[in-house]
């Protein structure tokens, strides 16, 4: 899904003015491919916490992409039709990413609870040992 959005952006930015090559074109493309690359990188991490970190970055990149699409539309680089198409793809990616984040947060939450219990246990055990010395 984010791959489709990125491909669409690459195709459409070919028609942007040449003076935007190192500005809006580059920024829009970078933000778009960052959505997918952060999901991929996060999924290869060993902890859910790290995965979530990259998913949150991906969400930020998606929002950045959507702003640049909006700006390109306002500047007249994207027609109403193309903007609506890309924005629709952005909506799909956003909903999918939100669902993925929610699922990983649920998976990570039990780990956080176990870590909190372990930390509490260690704190109270050390506190009891010190108290009794």
Instruction: Print the SS3 string covering 86-125.
Output: HHHHHHHHHHHHHHHHHHHHHHHHHHHHHHHHHHHHHHHH
Supply the pLDDT for residue 122.
Answer: 53
DSSP 3: H
C-alpha span between 30 and 117 (Å, rounded)? 41
C-alpha span between 19 and 41 (Å, rounded)? 32
* Residue 125: C-alpha distances to residues 49, 116, 131, 133 (Å): 27, 14, 10, 13
Q: Burial of 102 by CB count in 10 Å (0-12 exposed, 13-18 middle, 19+ buried)?
A: exposed
Query: Model's pTM, two decimal places?
Result: 0.80
Please, are residues 100 and 55 in contact by the beta-carbon 8 Å criterion?
yes
Supply the pLDDT for residue 118.
Answer: 55
- Averaged over successive runs of 10 residues, the pLDDT of the chain (133 residues) comes to 94 96 97 97 92 96 98 97 97 96 88 52 47 49
Which sign, positive or negative, has the C-alpha torsion 74, 76, 77, 82? positive
Query: Which residues make Cβ contacts (< 8 Å) with residue 105, sequence separation at least 6?
Result: 52
Supply the pLDDT for residue 1.
Answer: 85
Task: Show the domains of the chain with their CATH numbers.
Answer: 2-107 (1.20.1440.60)
């Amino acid at each position: 899904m984010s791959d489709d959005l990125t491909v669409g952006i690459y195709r459409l930015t070919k028609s942007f003015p040449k003076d935007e090559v190192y500005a809006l074109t580059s920024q829009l493309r970078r933000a778009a491919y960052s959505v997918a690359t952060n999901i991929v990188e996060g999924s290869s991490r060993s902890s859910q916490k790290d995965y979530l970190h990259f998913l949150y970055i991906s969400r930020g990149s998606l929002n950045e992409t959507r702003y640049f699409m909006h700006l390109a539309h306002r500047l007249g680089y994207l027609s109403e039709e193309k903007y609506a198409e890309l924005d629709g793809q952005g909506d799909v990616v956003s909903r999918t990413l939100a669902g993925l984040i929610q699922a990983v947060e649920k998976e990570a939450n039990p780990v956080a609870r176990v870590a909190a219990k372990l930390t509490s246990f260690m704190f109270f055990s050390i506190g009891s040992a010190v108290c009794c010395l």
